[in-house]
Amino acid sequence: GLAAAVRLANLDPKLSVAIIDADQVGRGASGRNSGFLIDLPHDISSGNFGADAVAKSHNEILIARTAIQHYARLAEEHGWDEDVFDPSGKYSLAMTDAGTEHLEAYSLQLKSLGEPNQLLSASEVEDVTGTRSYKSGLFTPGAVMVQPTALVRAIADVFQEPLRLYERTPALAIESSSIGCTVKT
């Protein structure tokens, strides 16, 4: 919601955008998510990978990368450090032979989409992670690690007119009419 509000204001500076949050921004689910902005579909390695699936995967990638680029612009414009936004890529790791087979199939599907990736041996994974627990890995460069609460607070901190943020303002009722919606707080 916050990043979308910033984007709307960037697209149309005359637009008045208000965000309400029942609590303090970052105290809910947005501040407790996994901390990854992932640019690739999680699983494209099924045997049914026809033209429709390729188009769908390309569309998912485009949407995800557009969002990541928006966050990257905000990070650059506002000087966020790597504690908030770290474009470090993603490692998928396998502990079993079946997991390795899955990563190998996923790597081939990514290559068929023209997506860069690197399969890693157990020793290469150990070099990165410091543990011998994994049989193999797959590195994809486009994912970003974020500190969720810091990211949400950083976005809230860039709010300025015409953006308005109302924290600790629960929506008590939403009423629809022919001209729009009214939110009662």
**In angstroms, what is the C-alpha Rg of the chain?**
20
End-to-end alpha-carbon separation of the chain, Å? 18
3-state helix, strand, coil in the chain (%, to 5): 40, 20, 40
The residue extents of the domains of the chain are: 36-146
CB neighbours (10 Å) of residue 31?
17
Q: What are the tens digits of pLDDT across the range 24-55?
A: 888 888 888 889 999 998 876 455 556 777 88
- The predicted-structure confidence for 106-135, as pLDDT tens digits, reads as follows 999 999 899 999 999 999 999 999 999 999
pLDDT for 163 = 85
Of 11 and 125, more confident: 125
